[in-house]
Amino acid sequence: MSLPKCGNKLENSPAGAINERTSMKIGVPKEIKTLEFRVGMTPSGVRELVDDGHELFVESNAGEGIGMSNADYVAAGAKVLDKAEDVFKTADMIVKVKEPQLNECAMLREGQVLFTYLHLAADPAQTEALVKSGTTAIAYETVTAKDGSLPLLTPMSEVAGRLSIQAGAFALQKANGGRGILLGGVPGVRPAKVLVVGGGVAGANAADMAVGLGASVTILDRSLPRLRQLDNIFGGRVRTVYSTKDIIDELSAESDLIIGAVLVAGAAAPKLVTAQNVKDMNAGAVMVDISIDQGGCFETSRPTTHADPTYVVDDVVHYCVTNMPGAVPRTSTFALTNATLPFVKSLAKLGWKEALSRDPHLANGLNVHAGHVNHEAVARDLGYEYRSAVEVLQAA
C-alpha cells in the first residue's frame, strides 16, 4: 500500500523547528475482561518511553496479574492513577491488550488513539461504540510485516496454540466431561487422535505441543506451500492433508480432540466444522476453538470465559475462551509487549498520522477513525462504508 506523507520530514526542517511529536501522554488501564490478567505495558516498556520524553499513566494495580506492583511502574517513571476514568481522561493514547469493553468505549474520545487487539468483525456492538466515540483505533491483529505476516498477532497465536493442547488434554479427562483419553497413550494403547484445522502460527504451535505429548496429529490447510513447509518442519511426525469438506467430515468423526486455528486477517472466521460434524463425533470428544475471537470456526462455537470455559453440544465438549492467553498472563504480556513496543514508540514519537504515513504495515492496523471503519474486511462483514487508510491520511 502506497501512502501519502503527512507533514514535513525532520531532515527538511529548519534549525530549531520541531515537526515530530516530542512528547505524548500514554495511558495503560487495567484490563477488565473476565479473568484477564495481562497488561498493555511492562515497567521496562514504560522506562523506554519515559526515556524518550513521554509521560506514562498507569491505572493502579494494572500489572498485578503479572506480578508487577505499582511501585515497579513508579520506579520506571510512570504516574499511577487510581481509576480507569482518570487514565482515559488524561492520555493521548491508550495502550491495552483486549478489546475495550463497552464502558471503556464510552470513555474514549475524538482525537485519542487506541492501540490494542480489537477483533471487530465478530463484535458489532464494540464496532458501533468505537465508531460513535470518534477515536482512532489501531488493531494489533491487522498490523502487517513485509513478508505478509501479522507480527503483533503472532506471539499470542503462539501462546494460544500451545495452550489449546493443555486445555484440550484437561477437558479430555473423564472428570471434566471428556472421553477419558491420555493424549500420548501408553505402550500397548493408542494415543489420542488430534485434528488441527488451520496450519498457521496457532495451528503449528498446537501441533508441536500435541506431537510433544505423543498424540497422533493431523494438520489441515488449503495452502500447499504451507503444507509442504509443515511437512518439512515436523519431519513426518504429523500428517499434512489438504482441507476439503469431505476430509473434514471424515477426520472430525474419528478425532478425539479438534483444534480450530483458522484465520482470515481482520474478517470473521469461516465455519469449517459443521453442526453435523459435531453430531458425528464420539461422545466425550473435545473441540478447542482458537478462532473464537473472530467468531469461531465451528458452527457450534460460542464465546466462553476462563470462569466457565466449556460447554457441551451433542456430547462433545467445547472450549471457546475468547482470551486464552490471559490464562498465562506473565508469559503472554512479556511476549506481546516485546512485539508492540517498537510500534508504541513510533506512534508516541511521530503521532499516529506521521507514523502510519511512514509505515504502511502499521497503517494496515487502522480499523476505525473519526466515525468511519477503515478495515475492508470489517466493513464488509458488518455492513459499514469502507474508508481506506490512504483516504484518511490524504484527508489529514
Q: 258 vs 72, 181, 218, 280, CA distance in Å? A: 41, 14, 10, 13
DSSP states of 177-198 as a string? Answer: TS----TT-BTTBPPPEEEEE-
Return the SS3 of 270: coil
Place of cell 497488561: 39
From CA 85, how far away is CA 66, in angstroms rounded?
Answer: 22
- Provide the annotated active-site residues: 119, 293
Longest CA–CA span in the chain (Å) reads 78
Question: Angle 305-265-104 (CA atoms, 0-180°, nearest 5)?
Answer: 45
Question: Angle 382-39-161 (CA atoms, 0-180°, nearest 5)?
Answer: 65
Length of the chain: 396
Strand pairing partners for 298? 273
Strand order in the sheet with 310-313: 239-242, 216-221, 193-197, 257-260, 286-289, 316-319, 310-313
From CA 91, how far away is CA 186, in angstroms rounded?
Answer: 56
Residue 170 CB: number of other CB atoms within 10 A?
15
Single out the residue of 382, 392, 394 nearest to residue 113, CA to CA.
392
Place of cell 507533514: 7
Cell numbers given for 60: 493502579
